[in-house]
Structure 1
Amino acid sequence: MLQLDGIVLEEPGFRLTADWSLPAGARCAVLGPSGAGKSTLLNAIAGFVVPKAGRILWQGQAMDALPPGKRPVTILFQDQNLFPHLTVERNLALGLAPDGRITAPMRTRIGEALERTGLAGLGGRKPGQLSGGQQGRAALARALLRARPLLLLDEPFAALGPALKADMLALVAEVAEAAGATVLMVTHDPQDARRFADLTILVAEGRAAAPVPTAELFAAPPPALAAYLG
């Protein structure tokens, strides 16, 4: 279980609170207007933003003192965070070893991850030689190799067309289910939330509300969500 216990996030001109828990294995959308704090919330869970108050716990253990690399978290950003001068294989190797050195067992695991994400045979290419969808698959393959129980998606597929984005979300769901991972996905698109997430967190008016069933949220949207949807 992921628990945000009395969290307060503050920056100049910005304040966000969160006090809720999310069950392990859940797929949860994080929805709200631009600037409300969706990415900031994910960055706090990942360890890149330090809360002003409160605690972040995973399976009952506080993560606040852990640096980002030691947390049970993988985060995918919009730019995929692939190194352009490295091959796909070496980019994926960074998910297994910080120095990126590839051993024979690692090469086997990388090959399996590439095959699982539809990139078999493309390990020798550099990111610039891949399409946008293939780059997203490469980033997801690296997340798969990291095998962390918390997967945070900060709109990594926002630049893709509707059909390709739907394919990527289906692949994330498949990978997450197989790994038993908990997924939080920032999105501006209500359709993404409906398609992917059983639960949704509404971030608006200085508060990240507790997760609620996605269908129920859209069936009777609170005023902040109704205003956002228009």
Structure 2
Amino acid sequence: MLRLEHVDIQQDGFHLTADWQIAKGAKVAVIGPSGAGKSTLLMALAGFVPHGGQITWDGADLAALAPGDRPLSILFQDQNLFPHLTLAQNLGLGISPRLRLTEADHARIEATLTRVGLLGMAQRKPAQLSGGQLGRAALARALLRARPLLLLDEPFAALGPALKAEMLDLVTETANETGATVLMVTHDPADAQRFADVTVLVADAIAAPPMATATLFANPPPSLRNYLGT
């Protein structure tokens, strides 16, 4: 279980609070106006933003862990792939930061590339990949890390509707297979409705407790109505 207990983030006049929990295996959308703190919330979970209160996973306080030691992977919109490395090397970083890989590790990389539809592309560099292939590669690296928490900060926002839907379905499928808990920042209510069991609305300095996605959009509170323009 992921629990945020009296979490309070304050930075240069910015303020955001959160006090809720989600069960293992949940697929959670994080939605709200630009600048409300959606990405900041994920960065706090990942250990890159200081905060008051407590964030725990399975009862263990994450504050005691450096970002690289936390039980999570995070995907950003820019994919964070190194341009001078091959696809196989970029994925290998998800296993060993020094790329000290065994034969078994290389086999895992090949299997994961196949899993995300990139078979035969291991020796290509990021510049040789399309936008959709870059998204698949970043997702593959996160899968290789095999962490129980996956944070998505709009990694597919630049993709067209059909390709974005395909990527969301791939995340859903892999999350269901692995039991991972996924939090996905999005500006698009259609993404939330396609992907998420529950949705966290971030608005007015509060990351609200998760609510069933269908229920939230069927009867949105004023802050969500204003955001959606309805």
Fold agreement, TM-score > 0.5? yes
Encode CA deviations 1:28-82: one digit per residue, 9 max, x unaligned.
000000000000000000111110x100000111101211100001000000010
Q: Which structure 1 residue ranges, 4+ long, deviate > 4 Å from structure 2?
A: none
CA distance in 2: counterparts of 1:100 and 1:37, whole angstroms: 34
Percent identity reads: 65
Q: Could you say which residue in structure 2 is the equivalent of 1:164? A: 163
Q: Could you say which residue in structure 2 is the equivalent of 1:50? A: 50
Q: Could you say which residue in structure 1 is the equivalent of 2:5? A: 5
Relative to the length of structure 1, the TM-score reads 0.99
Q: Could you say which residue in structure 1 is the equivalent of 2:225? A: 226
Structure 2, gaps ≥5 residues long: none
Q: Could you say which residue in structure 2 is the equivalent of 1:132? A: 131
Q: Could you say which residue in structure 2 is the equivalent of 1:184? A: 183
CA shift for structure 1 position 102: 2.7
Measured on the aligned residues, the alpha-carbon RMSD in Å equals: 0.5
CA distance in 1: counterparts of 2:50 and 2:148, whole angstroms: 21
CA distance in 2: counterparts of 1:8 and 1:149, whole angstroms: 24
Structure 1, gaps ≥5 residues long: none
- Contact 1:72/1:149 (CA < 8 Å) preserved in 2? yes
User: What SS does structure 1 have at the residue aligned with 2:68?
Assistant: helix
Q: Could you say which residue in structure 2 is the equivalent of 1:28? A: 28
Q: Could you say which residue in structure 2 is the equivalent of 1:97? A: 96
Q: Could you say which residue in structure 1 is the equivalent of 2:108? A: 109
Q: Could you say which residue in structure 1 is the equivalent of 2:37? A: 37
- Contact 1:76/1:139 (CA < 8 Å) preserved in 2? yes
CA distance in 2: counterparts of 1:29 and 1:221, whole angstroms: 15
CA distance in 1: counterparts of 2:184 and 2:56, whole angstroms: 18
CA distance in 2: counterparts of 1:83 and 1:176, whole angstroms: 25
Relative to the length of structure 2, the TM-score reads 0.99
CA distance in 1: counterparts of 2:96 and 2:191, whole angstroms: 33
- Contact 1:200/1:217 (CA < 8 Å) preserved in 2? yes
Amino acid at match of 1:31: I
